[in-house]
Amino acid sequence: MKRLRAAQREVVNAAIGALQGAMVEAVETLRRNLSCGNAFAENTAAKSILEMSMKAVELESYGERIARLEELFAQKEGQRQWR
């Protein structure tokens, strides 16, 4: 069972790597579509860029908050060891 899970993780990690590799091209495509002359495509590209940008900001904020909580938790754990 451990080998199966390891193989599954490897496949998922490879897929994630492939997706990350295509991100730059996807952004370039969206940017091109911002001024392609097709109003629907331009609006869709703009909406996608705005939504993804907001999500990125949100995720960054969560990451900072989690890091701070982990820091506080570690401090509390350190205080408990000395009691």
pTM confidence score:
0.65
**What's the rounded Cα separation, in Å, for the pair 41 and 32?**
10
Averaged pLDDT for residues 30-37: 97
* Radius of gyration of the chain from its Cα atoms, rounded to whole angstroms: 21
Mean pLDDT for the chain overall:
93
Model confidence at 78, pLDDT cuts 50, 70, 90, reads: confident
Domain definitions of the chain by residue range: 2-81
41 Cβ contact partners less than 8 Å away, ≥ 6 residues apart: 33
Which pLDDT score, from 0 to 100, does residue 34 have?
A: 97
At 64, the pLDDT band (50, 70, 90 cuts) reads very high
